[in-house]
Amino acid sequence: MNFKDQEKLKAVTFSYDDGATQDIRLIELLNKYGLKCTFNLNSNLLGKAGLLDRNGKRISHYKIHPSDVKAVYDGHEIAVHTLTHPLLPSLEESEIIHQVEQDRYNLSELVDYEVVGMAYPGGGINNDDRVASIIKEHTGVKYSRTIVSSKNFDVQNNLFRFNPSVYHLDFVEMMELGQKFIELKTNEPKILYIWGHSYEMDYEEDYWVRLEEFFKLISNKDDIFYSTNKEVLL
């Protein structure tokens, strides 16, 4: 794992899905605190308009336009989220490969570098050993994130079903894990990996404030390497 080359044994990384326009505000905050993130995009949905009904509110779910992807996500990592966000375990092998590999090609062309990361789309059981094996053997993806929170900082051997530490809307737990990570003394690599969707910050008025509080807590620590999923995992 590359962060060991930084002579630091603790790494913090973020992963956000779907490419909603709220990513622009999120990136402004990440950059403000020197944090790095991987953004998982559905290339066939880029530029699409949409709204979500959440907590009695209409939430914008507009997607970043393809022509803006390279500029918007500059300094961070772009990764696969499939072409159209299907539940992969329900698909035949050929369609899994198409959804993943064509998305990877499309995104690589947009950002002018080879995209090698991924996050599984959908909620619930959105991946399994069969899907992970197909992706590992038949695509150029080198790691893929699940939505199952590990609640710990352990380095995992299976990069194709990599569990994040915590979901960003679990604010109390995220702050507790953040403080624990800051205080952690270790002789082996440890990762604090946070995931979510930027549009979820619009669910409640104070969500952006609470997320920034976490950014303030976890940033600017001399013994922590802040980087993208690729730079931390590969």
What are 16-68's pLDDT values in tens digits? 999 999 999 999 999 999 999 999 999 999 999 999 998 889 999 999 999 99
Dump pLDDT digits (tens) for 11-27. 999 999 999 999 999 99
Under 8 Å between Cβ of 33 and 220 = yes
Under 8 Å between Cβ of 176 and 187 = no
Closest CA to 185 of 227, 224, 233: 224
Percentage, residues of the chain above pLDDT 90: 96
pLDDT of 116 over the 60 cut? yes
pLDDT of 2 over the 90 cut? no
User: Residue 1: what pLDDT?
Assistant: 58
User: Residue 56: what pLDDT?
Assistant: 87
| CA distances for 218 relative to 53, 127, 211, 224, angstroms | 31, 30, 11, 9
Phi-psi region of 171 (alpha: psi -120 to 50; beta: other; left: phi over 0): alpha
Residue type at position 232: V
Q: Beta strands 10-17 and 57-60: pairing type?
A: unpaired
- Calculate the CA 111 to chain-centre distance: 17
H-helix or E-strand spanning residue 77: strand 77-80
pTM of the complete model beyond 0.75: yes
pLDDT of 3 over the 70 cut? no
Dump pLDDT digits (tens) for 150-185. 999 999 999 999 999 999 999 999 999 999 999 999
Class of 2-233 in CATH: alpha beta
Under 8 Å between Cβ of 88 and 126 = yes
Closest CA to 25 of 64, 55, 70: 64
User: Residue 55: what pLDDT?
Assistant: 81
67, two tokens: 């022509």
| Mean pLDDT, rounded, for 88-111 | 98
